[in-house]
Amino acid sequence: MLYLWLKALHIVSMVCWFAGLFYLPRLFVYHAQSEDTVSKERFSLMERKLYRGIMGPAMIATLIFGIALIWLNPSLFSQGAWIHAKLTLVVILIGYHHMCGAQVKRFARGENTRSHVFYRWFNEVPVLILLAIVILVVVRPF
């Protein structure tokens, strides 16, 4: 029963984390398009609160619950290469998360050099990773 609770909490944490990963780059799009100081300050505040208040804790919770699941069921590693591929994508996602954090700081300092078009494409990265992770976990293709 503990395993199922941890799995449920892992999924809820992951959903919260991805909500932030989807929304923060969208804020970057709007921030890159803004021209007045009031808007830029508002977007910087929203980005910081989202990154620190929601995304960071959700990422940590996702990782803690995921590690607990593996600790309770280490046989996952012998069930195929899908778990190794999933964990590789999680590492990439953590890197993407930290890239978002670096961008939050750049915007706050007024040092953004990228266009809103860049952020529209940047926003698609977590979608592709989520798609791949869900397929790996549900279908277990290898």
Structural domain including 63 reads: 1-139
Q: Can you tell me the distance from the alpha carbon of 52 to that of 50, in angstroms, rounded to the nearest whole number?
A: 6
Please tell me the predicted confidence (pLDDT) of residue 2: 97
Number of domains in the chain: 1
Average pLDDT over residues 32-36: 97
49 is in an annotated binding site: no
Please tell me the predicted confidence (pLDDT) of residue 101: 98
Please tell me the predicted confidence (pLDDT) of residue 25: 98
Query: What is the pLDDT of the chain when averaged over all its residues?
Result: 97
Residue bearing tokens 């999933």: 86
7 is in an annotated binding site: no
Average pLDDT over residues 105-130: 97
Task: Encode pLDDT of 40-62 as tens digits.
Answer: 999 999 999 999 999 999 999 99
Q: What is the pTM of this model?
A: 0.95
134 CB-contact burial (10 Å; exposed 0-12 / middle 13-18 / buried 19+)? exposed
Please tell me the predicted confidence (pLDDT) of residue 52: 98
Q: How far is CA 131 from CA 8, 59, 85, 139, in A?
A: 19, 18, 13, 12
